[in-house]
Structure 1
Amino acid sequence: MTTHTTFAPPAMFHGVRVLMPGFMLCTVIAITATFVSDHYGGPQFLYALLIGIAFHFLADSEKCIPGIEASAKKLVRFGVALLGARIVATDVSDLGLVGVGALVGAVVLTITFGLLFARLLGLPPMLGLLSGGGTGICGISATLAISSTLPATRDNERYTLLTAIGVAIFSTVAMVLYPLVVKAAGLSVSEAGLFLGGSIHDVAQVVGAGLIISPEVGDAATLAKMFRVAMLMPVVVVLAMMFHAERKREHGANGKKTPVLPLFLVAFAALATLNSLGWIPEPVVALSSDVSRWCLVISIAALGVKTSLEKLAELGWKPIALLSGEALFVAAYMLAMVFVSRALA
């Protein structure tokens, strides 16, 4: 009598197989968005969002749900962690004391303005926090990072997607219009870099706006923008600690214990420190930046798949007013700070 044994794949391979359909769907959307952006222009993130929304009918597919969920919630943390490899502490000295103060103020005041304006419009504080952080720090990357510290609810996902769409649109508009403001105001290279880097949402649009004027302005704007990206870590750390304390109060001592600082923030800080010390080779920094961007594009595609236009439309005109108000606020603030720095020089 012979016995037949069947090979049982390890649990890890089974988990990968379960995640693969949804993950591949989001990856194909990300590749498509990247192709369209590279060949026809326009923001890569916005294309990923819109194409993802077109595939919303797959959000209820049992085969795709696990991979879509993992791409939207887990992959974003990996992408944000890798952003730390782009931070160099020595860049701060190149901005000067006034420049650093202006950029810190832009982040703090824009988030505060977002919370207050959201309250004035009768919108949830969560939307004010997400939109203020996305506008004030570094666009969609900041929106996703802040979202990852908030309670995982359907409203959080909907507000995150809405903010991402608004940030992508306003950032693209700013890339086209703000160079005209620079010309009209007669700003110098350093002043133009501070204004563009401090007021435009996403890194890619900052670089684009600077290069419209000159390569020198492009470099100065990128430097200012990367300082705003560096502000992502302290802001998200503070939010993570606040929401950790809130969850602890709600669930008490018997609730599920979570770390005060999520692992992805620890990794972000570690990579920023290593790169500031010059211990990460340039090719590794470039690779980390590329991998980070791909992770974030795939994540935003997953958010698009999960969200329906019908639910977004239910929010009405107020979120648009909130996002446009925040964009105008940070632009006006940075322009005022440029003239203040000129007067102090």
Structure 2
Amino acid sequence: MAIPLTSPSDFFGRIPTFLSENGPGFAVSVVVAAAAQFLSDHYGAPAMLMALLLGIAFHFLAEEGRCVPGIALTSKTVLRIGVALLGARISVELLIGLGPQLIGLVVAGVILTILFGLLGARLLGRGWRFALLTGGAVAICGASAAMAIAAVLPKNEHSERNLIFTVLSVTVLSTIAMIAYPIITAALELDDIAAGVFLGGTIHDVAQVVGAGFSVSNETGETATLVKLIRVTMLAPVVLTFALLIRAFAEDDARKDGKRPPLMPFFVVMFLVLAAINSFGFIPEFAQSFLADVSKWALLVSIAAVGMKTSLKTIFDVGGQAIVLIVAQTIFIAGFILYGITHFAS
């Protein structure tokens, strides 16, 4: 537990102890993330997936030894930093650029996918935590959304297992979609704009959206990236809504550790602050690029730490219903966006 600090000298005096306690775990998470990025750059494998799998292989480091506290810190605090910095890529101009019909379609897709997940979870006998986790990950931005949502959900004995399953599943499904969805757009003879809206509105992770979009055409790639960023914009309001609902209706679960959940998580506040600053044009392009890189690495390092905290055996305990649910959510959002493109946003 952290020692209360009463003066600047206390703060600076604690830094060596803090680094000694958490440095080894953070360092090994960075090494795993760097290895994952190397594999991604040289062999085309999704970096998030590689970080997750490599992290799982080093699970023993999170069980005992000097790395345990640093891995725990990295899986939580570094994650929140990465999510908060995503706000620097968001602006009101992005929203205006798409137009009201497409914005409405994307927002409706996010909301309905989450509601579909809640309904599906009830039918399959899964809990509401799992439904919000998988539904938000599929609806918004894959692994990043899963980790952000997990940060505000009340914890139980299955929390880490469900998070690692969700990150693994959405990353695999996103990679499959990156290959399959451009084929679908060609078969349906969608034009470049419509194809971009479909790819950006349905594929889970940003990197796979970019890969799929630019494999069709430059215009499709640019449109897909823009639409995807609109979905990322939904991350803050969705996480905030979840936090408020949990605070209001899941009081017993949320207060098992004796603490009341925060009205608005700090990383969500920072996401919104950065988005507001960027909307006024106060973040120059080079700074946006730098913050995007920091965010990407923070998320990659944190998912490596999450992987290290999870035993491979526990993933297989999730059950077939969980796989059915997350695949069904993926199919639902793809079908909804495709229907919307052809009937309302054309």
> Structure 2 length normalisation: TM-score?
0.93
Shift in Å, 1:75: 1.0
Find the counterpart in structure 2 of residue 68 from structure 1. Answer: 71
| Residue from 226, 231, 234 that aligns with 2:234 | 231
Task: State the match for 2:62 in structure 1.
Answer: 59
Q: Is the 8 A contact 2:165 2:318 kept in 1?
A: no
**Cα distance in 2 for residues equivalent to 1:109 and 1:98:** 16
* Partner residue in 2 for 1:218: 221
Question: Shift in Å at residue 154 of structure 1?
Answer: 3.6
Rounded Cα–Cα distance in structure 1 between residues aligned with 2:157 and 2:151: 13
Which letter does structure 1 place at the counterpart of 2:102? G
Displacement after TM superposition at 1:126 (Å): 1.1
Q: Structure 2 CA distance, aligned partners of 1:114 and 1:17?
A: 43
CA distance, structure 2, for counterparts of residue 272 and residue 251 of structure 1: 29
Unmatched segments (≥5 aa) in structure 1: 1-7
Match of 1:291 among 290, 294, 297: 294
Is 1:271 matched with 2:274? yes
- Give the equivalent residue in structure 2 for 1:49: 52
* CA–CA distance in structure 2, aligned partners of residues 11 and 93 of structure 1: 47
Question: What is the match of residue 150 of structure 2?
Answer: 147
Task: Identify the residue that residue 108 of structure 1 maps to in structure 2.
Answer: 111
CA distance in 1, matches of 2:259, 2:38: 43
Q: CA deviation at 1:19?
A: 0.2
Of 168, 191, 196, which residue of structure 1 is paired with 2:194? 191
What CA deviation, in whole Å up to 9, does each residue of 1:94-143 have, x standing for no partner? 21221011100110011111111111111122111111100000111110
Shift of 1:341: 2.8
CA–CA distance in 1 between the matches of 2:249 and 2:151?
Answer: 15
Report what 2:5 is aligned to.
Answer: none
State the number of aligned residues.
Answer: 335
Once the two structures are superposed, residues 197-223 of structure 1 have per-residue CA deviations (whole angstroms, 9 ceiling, x without a partner) of 101001110110001101110000001
> CA separation of 1:277/1:178 partners in 2, compared to 1, >3 Å: closer, same or farther?
same
Letter in 2 for 1:80: V
Instruction: State which structure, 1 or 2, has the greater radius of gyration over its C-alpha atoms.
Output: 1
In 2, the alpha carbon distance for the partners of 1:153 and 1:72 equals 16
Structure 2 unaligned spans of 5+: 1-9
The answer to whether residue 165 in structure 2 is matched with residue 162 in structure 1 is yes
Instruction: Tell me what 2:312 maps to.
Output: 309
For the 8 Å contact 2:21–2:69, the answer to whether it is kept is yes
Q: 2:20 maps to what in 1? A: 17
Partner amino acid for 1:88? Answer: S
SS at match of 2:190: coil
Q: Which amino acid aligns with 1:270?
A: V
The partner residue of 2:248 within 242, 245, 248 is: 245
Aligned with 1:280: secondary structure? coil
